[in-house]
Structure 1
Amino acid sequence: MTVPVIPDYDTTLRELPTDKGVLRYHEYGDGPPLVMLHGSGPGVSGWRNFRGNLSFFGQHFRCLVLEFPGFGVSDDWGGHPMTTALGGMEAFVDALGLDEFDVIGNSMGGGVGVNYDLAHPGRIRRLVTIGGVGRNIFSPAPGEGIKLLQDFTENPTREGLIQWLHSMVYDPAVVTDELIEERWQLATDPVALESARRMYGRVAFAAMMKAMHASDAPPQWAMFHKVTAKTLITWGRDDRVSPLDMALIPMRLIPQVELHVFPNCG
């Protein structure tokens, strides 16, 4: 058995110029294209979300880890980073000439994958989402983890970051000093912090919720029946950011879907 080479940040990093700014991404492995989409939150990036899995997936796929605009790695496109993410993905896959591809999306990245499928049916072959997709049914919204994220965004302290990281995981041992320091460095970068406040500052978050409720456009969950990709929804049973009951609507409405729930997992 060949031991996989551990992916290196610098050798896998690529840059893709667009008319709105430079998109950065990591490329590793060989095979059918697999687009990997990160989530949101302080200090997040595609590399941090997926680097631990690239050695495995790179044996089977051409892994393309996109850094969304407005999260401190790719150029900021302005506006709300959750809104510009879809446009970033569209520009990315078109520039790389990907006519058909698979997607793994973590939290917000899963939502972007669903939105892409709705806008471009048939291009995503298989879609894997990691939490975050759906709608609260029994649990309060926003959840505990989102409120802690808002606290940190309003007042970025190291203790606040640690509290938020602990809300993300089931096993507190996962929150190491190394992880805290790494997240702290990117989360307090002035550009990344300003971007986070456009998403999770209390005023901005309330405005986003108000706009969603006032809009005549159907919410994403009401369009799940139009998803064409073969979909696997994965969730942590003990998720305190996006509670498990959120998975019920997409599990029922997406035509070709399976749900896998992991125990002892945030």
Structure 2
Amino acid sequence: MTEATTRTFGYDETLRELPTEQGVLRYHEAGEGPPLLLLHGSGPGVTGWRNYRGNLAAFARHFRCLVLEFPGFGVSDPTDEHPMAAAPQAVTRFLDGLSLGRVDVVGNSMGGIVAANLAIARPDLFRRIVTVGGIGRSVFSPAPGEGINLLMDFTENPTREALVRWMHSMVYDPEVVTDEMVEERWTQATDPDTLAAARRMYGRKALAASMAAAEASDRPPYWSMLHKITAPTLVTWGRDDRVSPLDMALLPMRTMPKAELHVLPDCGHWVMIEQKEAWESAVLAFLTRPGGS
């Protein structure tokens, strides 16, 4: 292997800050080339760094990687908004603040939903899109899935045992969840401000109220507008995902005009961690393919 293929990036070396009128956005930057925006998912103790730190070495050989930390998860400055509502605005503030034009984007779970919503509203933002589980709607499986129910259990009663049960639901092989990962997540997930933001998203009453509001709204759900996303999109999924079951992929696969689906076996929701090399290979082949608009 060359030095470039074995290069690892440290937290402090890549951490950056972008002051904005609504607080400081923090992010990690590595590599040179066309900009690649990486958006993290939700859940106890999540950060963009923890989602993607293992993938930076592969992607930074081709792209200027920008791992944005969403407000409400304990790294970027918080806002008064619901974290899901604050996320799209954070993305546009971030892109404007760095004077970036069209970018490629990778979105894991919640990050994929954020990217999809932005692509529907702003077709000019993204050249190519990669999602990691999460977008679409359950067709055959009950909702919410097992992983979401365990996430609500932890949010309501944050014990270490509940955190481990939730983390195990995120993967196919429980050995992927190390003691170090548990400690990292536990420290951040139990921070009072971060926990309060999580309860606004995943407390049982909060989630029920959000679902009821969506059903009463005249605005169509984002998954019914996926056909409006015209950017080439790679939908990646773990075959054994217990958070966002694979049948959710049927809707984007059928309705998005330039979507292709890549399913990884023996893999849960954390595709970029559990099937790291296979996922990186598929994503890089897609993002570096000639002829992208």
TM-score, normalised on structure 1? Answer: 0.99
Q: Matches of residues 82-231 of structure 1 in structure 2 within 5 Å?
A: 82-231=84-233
1:137 counterpart SS class: coil
1:30 aligns with 2:29: no
Distance 2:176 2:235 in 1: 23
Find the counterpart in structure 2 of residue 79 from structure 1: 81
CA contact (8 A) 1:122 1:228 kept: no
Find the counterpart in structure 2 of residue 2 from structure 1: 2
1:213 counterpart SS class: helix
> How much does 1:9 deviate?
0.6
What is the one-letter code of the residue matched to 2:148?
I
> How much does 1:229 deviate?
1.2
What is the one-letter code of the residue matched to 1:248?
L
Distance 1:75 1:90 in 2: 16
CA contact (8 A) 1:100 1:124 kept: yes
Over 2 Å off, 4+ runs: none
Identity of aligned residues (%): 67
1:25 counterpart SS class: strand
5+ unaligned residues in a row in structure 1: which ranges?
Answer: none
Distance 1:177 1:9 in 2: 19
Distance 2:231 2:46 in 1: 26
1:39 aligns with 2:13: no
> How much does 1:78 deviate?
1.6
What is the one-letter code of the residue matched to 2:207?
F
Distance 2:137 2:175 in 1: 29
Distance 1:182 1:123 in 2: 33
1:156 counterpart SS class: coil
| Alignment match of 2:70 (pick from 68, 71, 85) | 68
What is the one-letter code of the residue matched to 2:262?
H
1:7 counterpart SS class: coil
Distance 2:147 2:11 in 1: 29
TM-score, normalised on structure 2? Answer: 0.90
> How much does 1:122 deviate?
2.8
What is the total number of aligned residue pairs between the two structures? 266
What is the one-letter code of the residue matched to 2:247?
D
5+ unaligned residues in a row in structure 2: which ranges?
Answer: 269-293
